[in-house]
Structure formats: structure tokens, C-alpha cells
Amino acid sequence: MPALQSVDDDISQVFRMEHNKEILTEFGKRIQRCYGCFIAYHLKDMYLGEDVTFFCEHCKDENMFHFDQFAQLLDISKLKEVAEEDHHH
Ligand SMILES: [Zn+2]
């Protein structure tokens, strides 16, 4: 039944998106030190450099993505891994 299958896919996709949004919101509230100036910022105000390094708006360069951008580019499961890793500290 192709029609039913497609409805199921739509629903699970919406659930995934909502779930991802929650993860991103939580992730954005995390405090992260800038790798350039070592001042702590909320992740949602930061920029992602290479090797998952985070920089503030003063230290970023034009190759880096703002949180809002890289949140959409990054694999959410990886974000979650990073977020969960931090709980061990
Ligand atoms: Zn900085």
C-alpha cells in the first residue's frame, strides 16, 4: 500500500524534525569557551571551525559557520554525541 507507506514516512519525518529541534535548542544553551580568546559563550552565539572547534563572533573567520547554519548542516546524531560526551566532565 504505497499511499499508507508515504503517510508513515511523513509522520516519522515530522517527529524526527521536532526531536532534532529540541536537541539543537538544548545544544545551543551549552556554554563553550572560544578557542581564540577563551571567553565562554552560549553555543548558539558561536561559530564552528574545523575539527569541531568553536569561536566567538570576534575570533571567527569567514570560513566558519554560525550555529544556526552549522546546526542545519551537521549530522544531528553527531551533535548529540558531542552533547552527551560533555556530561562525563
Ligand atoms: Zn573569541
Residue 87: pLDDT band (50, 70, 90) is: low
3-class state of residue 41 by DSSP: strand
CB 35 within 8 A of CB 55: yes
Q: How far is the CA of 46 from the centre of ligand 1 (A)?
A: 9
Ligand 1 centre to CA of 41 (Å) is 9
Grid coordinates representing 73 are: 548542516
Across the range 27-50, mean pLDDT stands at 93
For the cut 70, the answer to whether the pLDDT of residue 21 exceeds it is yes
For the chain, what are the domain ranges?
2-88
pLDDT of res. 12:
76
Report how far ligand 1's centroid is from the alpha carbon of 49 (Å). 12
- Tell me, yes or no, if the pTM score tops 0.85: no
- pLDDT band at residue 36, thresholds of 50, 70 and 90? very high
User: How many CB atoms within 10 Å of residue 27?
Assistant: 20
DSSP bridge pairs for 65 = 48
Cα–Cα distance, 47 to 34 (Å, whole number): 9
Q: Which residues surround ligand 1, an ion (CB under 5 A)?
A: 34, 36-37, 56, 58-59
